[in-house]
């Protein structure tokens, strides 16, 4: 009996995904759990596995298609499994490829779809009046959203969609109009996305399409920056003693399969800080003028990958030891870099930690990950001369940056929260007691 492979329930509030890679072809033999297609939602990227072993007889989608939950992706004939599948399927990636963080073939296709080297003389950009209508026609949006855009006089080609594949929602259209009005314009105001000049007039250029992941990141950050009044508070912590603590316990954590890092230590400290300062563990319901105070402690951690910045969630941080958090964080980071995160891995976080110390920098202003109200950034720790006990001493100093939503968190509270974290970092004996 032919098996219909359908898109299953993904996660809460996610009912569709965009196909960013086809990993098999008609006629291929596949094993149960072998990935068939790669999909991306507004929450995460994941591979859809085959529910049975057999032969692929139909593929019902193509790259860049948006598919709904319950839609048929492919058809497999399990009765054909009597023939022995090849020992190594061409769709399986060797372990070394994942270790070296080689992007999957589908990612390369999406990022370099223009193909090959740039032409010697790129085509000149068309005038805005000529490309305006085609851009709107090509914008992914439902008929209801298109009607709303017409009623408001909005060119959909100028609107950034926040949904899968850049799909434009009614809220995206309204946000676009609000942005124009907030800028002092109105119906005749200049669009938020002004047409670019023809750069080819001044030299050679190359166009590369933004990947689905990069478009999603751009939409999320644009929304957060436009709708949340950010304040960033800076401080620093003396982690000289903490570094000694980290070295003392590093081998023990490594034997358990993890890596003891400043980030994994910060997870434990931030969970305690959120209990002491519950407003930072909240979300703002602006429509009802209410704060939603959460009684659980799930924390996002930013992970740098070849596909962009991903923020998987470590759950119930307050109930776990630093050793367990270190092991779990290492596993999530590897899943992120090998493109194995599921939507569930990316949802439900209350607060975010972004540590750029492994790359460098002295300080930065991280953007809040909506609907959260705060994010903690850490830069690279450096040896500094500090005046202590009547003399200068070398100390390892960690720069910290806290961005928060000023609508519900005042500056004084932001200072106290960040100072609490800095002081906890300076008292590693308390962390040892929790182990």
Enter the tokens of residue 378.
């850490």
Closest CA to 257 of 346, 350, 333: 333
Say if residues 350 and 274 touch (Cβ distance below 8 Å).
Answer: yes
The encoded tokens of residue 66 equal 């948006």
Catalytic pick among 193, 230, 298, 406: 406
CA–CA gap between residue 296 and residue 274 (Å, rounded): 10
Which of the 8 DSSP states describes residue 42?
S
C-beta separation of 377 from 401 below 8 A: yes
46, 343 Cβ separation under 8 angstroms = yes
Q: Is 406 a catalytic residue?
A: yes
Give the residue from 63, 42, 49, 56 showing the smallest Cα distance to 3.
Answer: 56
Please, are residues 396 and 381 in contact by the beta-carbon 8 Å criterion?
yes
Q: Cis omega (within 30 of 0) on the bond before 371?
A: yes
Return d(Cα 16, Cα 10) in angstroms, integer: 8
Tokens for 58? 């139909």
Residue 227, Cβ neighbours under 10 Å: how many?
Answer: 17
**Residues recorded for the chain:** 435
Task: List the catalytic residues.
Answer: 406
């Amino acid at each position: 009996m032919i098996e219909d492979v359908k898109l299953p329930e993904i996660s809460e509030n996610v009912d569709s995904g965009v196909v960013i890679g086809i990993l098999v072809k008609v006629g291929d033999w596949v094993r149960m759990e072998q990935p068939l297609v790669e999909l991306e939602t507004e929450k995460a990227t994941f591979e859809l596995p085959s529910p049975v072993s057999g032969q692929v007889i139909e593929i019902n989608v193509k790259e860049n298609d948006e598919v709904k939950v319950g839609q048929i992706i492919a058809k497999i004939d399990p009765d054909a499994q009597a023939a022995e599948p090849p020992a190594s399927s061409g769709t399986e990636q060797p372990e070394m490829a994942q270790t070296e963080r080689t992007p999957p073939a589908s990612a390369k296709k999406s990022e370099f779809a223009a193909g090959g080297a740039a032409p010697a003389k790129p085509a000149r950009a068309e005038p805005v009046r000529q490309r305006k209508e085609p851009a709107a026609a090509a914008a992914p949006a439902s008929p209801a959203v298109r009607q709303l855009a017409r009623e408001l006089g909005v060119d959909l080609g100028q609107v950034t969609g926040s949904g899968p594949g850049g799909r434009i929602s009614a809220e995206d259209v309204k946000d676009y109009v609000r942005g124009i009005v907030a800028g002092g314009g109105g119906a005749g105001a200049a669009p938020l996305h002004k047409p670019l000049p023809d750069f080819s007039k001044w030299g050679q250029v190359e166009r590369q399409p933004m990947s689905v992941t990069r478009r999603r990141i751009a939409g999320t950050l644009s929304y957060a920056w436009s709708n949340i009044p950010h304040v960033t508070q800076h401080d620093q912590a003396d982690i000289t003693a903490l570094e000694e603590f980290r070295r003392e316990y590093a081998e023990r954590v490594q034997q358990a399969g993890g890596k003891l890092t400043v980030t994994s230590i910060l997870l434990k400290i931030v969970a305690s800080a959120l209990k002491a300062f519950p407003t930072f563990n909240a979300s703002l319901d602006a429509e009802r003028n209410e704060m939603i105070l959460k009684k659980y402690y799930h924390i996002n951690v930013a992970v740098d990958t070849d596909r962009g910045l991903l923020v998987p969630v470590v759950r119930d941080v307050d109930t776990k030891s630093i050793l367990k958090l270190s092991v779990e964080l290492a596993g999530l980071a590897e899943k992120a870099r090998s493109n194995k995160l599921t939507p569930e891995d990316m949802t439900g976080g209350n607060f975010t930690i972004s540590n750029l110390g492994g790359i460098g920098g002295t300080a930065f202003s991280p953007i809040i990950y909506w609907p959260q109200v705060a994010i903690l950034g850490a830069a690279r720790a450096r040896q500094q001369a500090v005046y202590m006990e009547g003399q200068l001493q070398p100390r390892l100093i960690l720069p910290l940056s806290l961005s928060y939503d000023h609508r519900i968190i005042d500056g004084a509270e932001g200072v106290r929260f960040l100072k609490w974290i800095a002081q906890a970092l300076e008292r590693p004996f308390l962390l040892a007691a929790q182990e």
